[in-house]
Amino acid sequence: MIIKSIKLTNFRNHAQYFLECQDKTSLILGENGCGKTSVLEAIYILTRGKSFRATDPEILKHGTEFYRIELVYENGESAAATYDGKTKTFHILDKKTKRLPLKSKYPVVLFLPSDLNLISHAPSRRRDYFDRIFSELDENYSVNLSKYKKALKQRNEILKQDHNSSDSVFSWNLLLAKYGTLLCQTRQQLIRKINLELTPTYYSIAKNSDQIEIIYQSDSLEQSEQKYLATLEQNFARDQILGHTSFGIHRDDYIFEFNGKLADGSASRGETRSIILALKFIEAKLIETNLRLKPLILLDDVFSELDTTRRQCLVDNFKDNQVIITSVEEI
């Protein structure tokens, strides 16, 4: 897929915006706060089905009643999304749907400035980051994750009530055990694949012999669905007191190790940036291998955070992809 143009109406601070994209690299220049990231966000919505940073009411330009995104592709096809203040609707091939159809989704490698701080971020940020990657690589992952989150929300709401019993959460326990086990297995498999590529890819950037590994931490490792369910039931009394579910894959974490030590603290600023670059390159490679598609690359003002060598690595690695870059200065 190559995007030829994008048009925005009432999207964040854009009353009207139009961008004609290049086949390879498109550069969006502007000062901070002018809405450059919003253009990438709009593209992401029409390629992945949702924003990477906000809800629809937050996206809608203040004082307006709707927003609309329109994409035109190289093959002449088009896609649009409209939010009327209540509901978002996708318009694909003259059909309207409330969700972006799976066949209309396209893989995207998104690179945000905050990603460069992934190693030192809170566990929740790392979970969100890898959930986004895994959803690109495995079409069932996002479906299972959505079902898990819905069950978790329902269980937590019951736990907050004054009168509840273990029976009242049993059906939600079953769903959490089912989807939690599936998600844990997928996470293990994909982290193994990433780890196989991580050190050699890092070497291609940093040109040294450092060893990099991501340690997937989960209380659910190697647990069967039955054991997962049993643990939820055993924790019920404790969860009643806490008012939330204390066990499950929603508490997982991903720890980066640098030469056998925690990267957060032992790796320098430049080394951590090389690790994240390697992770992005691996993501793109796995997408192309698994899906037989070259992902669209969205780079949000990351060039200003990288030195000349790492900038060149980024350019060289994605030279065969369509890339859309935002920046405050010419590149």
The b/e string for 231-258 (b: 16+ C-beta within 10 A; e otherwise) is bbeebbeebbeeeebebbbbebebebbb
The b/e string for 147-165 (b: 16+ C-beta within 10 A; e otherwise) is bbeebbeebbebbeeeebe
pLDDT of res. 33: 86
3-state SS assignment for residue 224: coil
- State the average pLDDT for the chain: 94
pLDDT of res. 331: 75
CATH, domain 125-293, list 3.40.50.10360, 3.40.50.9100, 1.20.1050.10, 1.20.1050.90: 1.20.1050.90
Query: Which residue ranges make up each domain of the chain?
Result: 3-106, 125-293
Q: Taking 70 as the threshold, does the pLDDT of residue 1 lie above it?
A: no
In 41-190 the beta strands, taken as DSSP E runs, fall at: 67-73, 78-83, 88-92, 95-97, 108-111
pLDDT tier for residue 223 given thresholds of 50, 70 and 90: confident
DSSP state of 60: B
Token digits of residue 268: 């320098």
Q: Are the C-beta atoms of 5 and 72 separated by less than 8 Å?
A: yes
Q: Are the C-beta atoms of 279 and 126 separated by less than 8 Å?
A: no
pLDDT digits (tens, 9 = 90+) for 235-247: 999 999 999 999 9
Q: Could you tell me the fold of the domain covering 3-106?
A: Rossmann fold (3.40.50)
pLDDT digits (tens, 9 = 90+) for 150-194: 999 999 999 999 888 889 999 999 999 999 999 999 999 999 999
Adjacent-strand bridge partners of 327: 29
Residues in the chain: 331
Token digits of residue 329: 């200065």
Read off the pTM.
0.91
Tell me whether the CATH fold assigned to 3-106 matches the one assigned to 125-293. Answer: no
- Residue percentage of the chain with pLDDT more than 90: 89
